[in-house]
Structure formats: C-alpha cells, structure tokens
Amino acid sequence: MGNKVFKTAKAALDGFAFDGMTVMSGGFGLCGLPENLIVALRDSGAKDITAISNNAGVDGFGLGLLLETRQIKKMISSYVGENDEFERQYLAGELEIEFNPQGTLAERIRAGGAGIPGFYTKTGFGTVIAEGKPTREFNGESFIMETGLVADVALVKAWRGDPYGNLQFSKTARNFNPMMAMAGKVTIVEVDELVEPGALDANFIHTPGIFVQRIVEAKCEKRIEQRTTRTREGAPS
C-alpha cells in the first residue's frame, strides 16, 4: 500500500500542487475545514486554481487565504456570503463563479466520485441555473442535466484516521468531506488523530482507505464562524 503518512501538511501536498489545478476543499462554513492543507496550498504558490467548495471560507481564513493571494481563478460553490474579498473580486470581474444549488453541488461531487458523468434534477429548472444546460422530461415533469465533478486534488478533513487512510468523521464536520474523498484523483487528508492499524472499528469506517493517497495528523484552530449566545434560563441577565 506504500507509506501514506506524512509529518506535515506541506510534505503531504508536495508534488501535487500546480498552476491551473482543480482542487476540492471539504467543509461547511468553517466546520470540517482542512485548514492546514489550505495553508500548505497557499504556500505552494500554485495559481489559476479552480476551487470546488461549498463556500469560500471567510476573510483571512480557509479558502479566504487563497483569495487574498489571488491564487483562485474560479470558484464552483453554493454560498459565499461571509467573505468580503470574494464579493469584491467578483464584482470587479476578477473572479469567475459557477453557482450551484447546495444539493446539486453535493450530488455533482458524489456523481464524480461514483464515475457518473451526468444526471438530471428538477432543481433550478426555469431559472438562470438552467441556462445552456440540456433539459428533458420524465413523467411529464421537466429536468435539467448536471455534470459530475472530479478534482485533481481533494483536500479533506477527518476526525480520526489510520495509516492505511481509513477515516472517521465527527458529527456535522462530515459534510462534504466523504464525497470529496471519492472525487479526487488524489485525496490528501488531515486528521485530528492518527491511530494505530486496527484501532478503528471496521463497522464504523466512513471512508475506506482505498480512496486516500496521503494523510497527516495536524492541530487545527477550529474557528467559530459566528458566535451566538443566550442567557441561561433563571440566571441573572
């Protein structure tokens, strides 16, 4: 199986970052974000990147770091509302955007990983989302065709992993990560905890190691995107 374990995110990414690459980056908001691998990608200097991710991080963190350095040429995503630099570049015509309904984006990634080149969905029919896309009727209803997505490199965040690349995800940090692990030609994973072979219960492995080429244990900041609080009932205000 070869050695999949690397000591640093930079070493794990070494040899796979290049100009014009397509990269998938897991996460929903800042939850389940491969933050160390994103920093390594920034530091690689690769430019003209097409980034496939649910959103574009926030200013100064996540994919927002690559927007600041102008390394991203195009975003394929579903939500970008937390990033002022993203907005500025888009409105200035400096950044290409391919917006997707969130469920469509998830299915495009899953389809790519499953080797499915295209599929039909009702979502977006009759809107700007459907412009230029083939349409077809099934049982009297109209659908648009969407294509599967595959990336040169998928950057994935997991909770636990073993040296073989078997992965477990924690709660909502699972989000887009398992699908992207399948849809990358090369999948590089950062984990909170690297465990010994056999430590993961085979019945509860979310992503088998066959999809993973490299893995690194890394400490994460795990920022909170928007902190909200409320007074406990009965406590002094």
CATH number at residue 75: 3.40.1080.10
Neighbouring CB atoms inside 10 A of 65's CB total 21
Contacts of residue 230, defined as CB under 8 A and 6 or more positions apart, other chains included, come to: none
Indicate whether 146 pLDDT > 70: yes
pLDDT value of residue 235: 62
Let me know if residue 76 belongs to a domain: yes
Q: Please list the residues that pair with 135 across neighbouring strands.
A: 144
Let me know if residue 135 belongs to a domain: no
Residues 189, 214 contacting (CB under 8 angstroms):
yes
Tell me the CA distances in angstroms from 90 to 67, 95, 98, 153, one per residue in order.
11, 5, 11, 24
DSSP 231: P
Indicate whether 234 pLDDT > 70: no
Let me know if residue 141 belongs to a domain: no
> Of residues 60 and 185, which shows the higher confidence score?
185
Q: Name which of 206, 157, 187 is nearest 12 in CA terms.
A: 187
The arithmetic mean of pLDDT across residues 12-38, rounded, is: 96
The arithmetic mean of pLDDT across residues 24-53, rounded, is: 96
Whole-model pTM above 0.95? no
Let me know if residue 164 belongs to a domain: yes
The pLDDT confidence band at residue 236, using thresholds 50, 70 and 90, is low
pLDDT value of residue 82: 79
Go through 151-173 and write b for each residue having 16 or more CB atoms within 10 A of its CB, e for each that does not: bbbbbbbbbbbbebbbbbbeeeb
Specify the pairing of strand 118-121 against strand 141-147.
Answer: antiparallel
For residue 126, is it left (φ>0), alpha (ψ between -120 and 50) or beta? left
Range of 48's domain? 5-116+150-217
The arithmetic mean of pLDDT across residues 205-230, rounded, is: 90
User: Residue 194 has which token pair?
Assistant: 């690297």
The arithmetic mean of pLDDT across residues 179-190, rounded, is: 98
Let me know if residue 131 belongs to a domain: no
69-73, 107-111, 222-226: which has the minimum mean pLDDT? Answer: 222-226
Number of domains in the chain: 1
The arithmetic mean of pLDDT across residues 84-91, rounded, is: 91
Residues 5, 163 contacting (CB under 8 angstroms):
yes
pLDDT value of residue 148: 98
Let me know if residue 88 belongs to a domain: yes
The arithmetic mean of pLDDT across residues 180-190, rounded, is: 98
18-27, 54-63, 123-132, 135-144: which has the minimum mean pLDDT? Answer: 54-63
Let me know if residue 145 belongs to a domain: no
Let me know if residue 234 belongs to a domain: no
